[in-house]
Amino acid sequence: PHDPLRDLLQPLDFDAELKDYGTRFVPGTRQWVFDTINQWLSDDGEGRCRVLLGGPGFGKTAIVARLCETRRDAVVGVHMCRHNDTRKRDPRRMVRTLAHQLAQALPDYRAALESKAEQLAREVDSLTTTELVDRLLVQPLAGIPPLDGHKLLVVDALDEAEHDKKN
Cα 149 to chain center, whole Å?
A: 17
pLDDT value of residue 148? 84
Q: Name residue 156's amino acid.
A: D
- 74 burial via Cβ count (<10 Å: 0-12, 13-18, 19+): buried
pLDDT at 45: 66
Q: Is 129 exposed, middle or buried (0-12, 13-18, 19+ CB in 10 A)?
A: middle
10-residue mean pLDDT profile of the chain (167 residues): values are 94 96 89 92 79 86 93 95 94 97 97 96 95 97 91 92 70
3-state secondary structure of 155: strand
Closest CA to 36 of 158, 156, 152: 152
- Contact predicate 154/78, CB 8 Å: yes
- Alpha-carbon span 140 to 112, nearest angstrom: 6
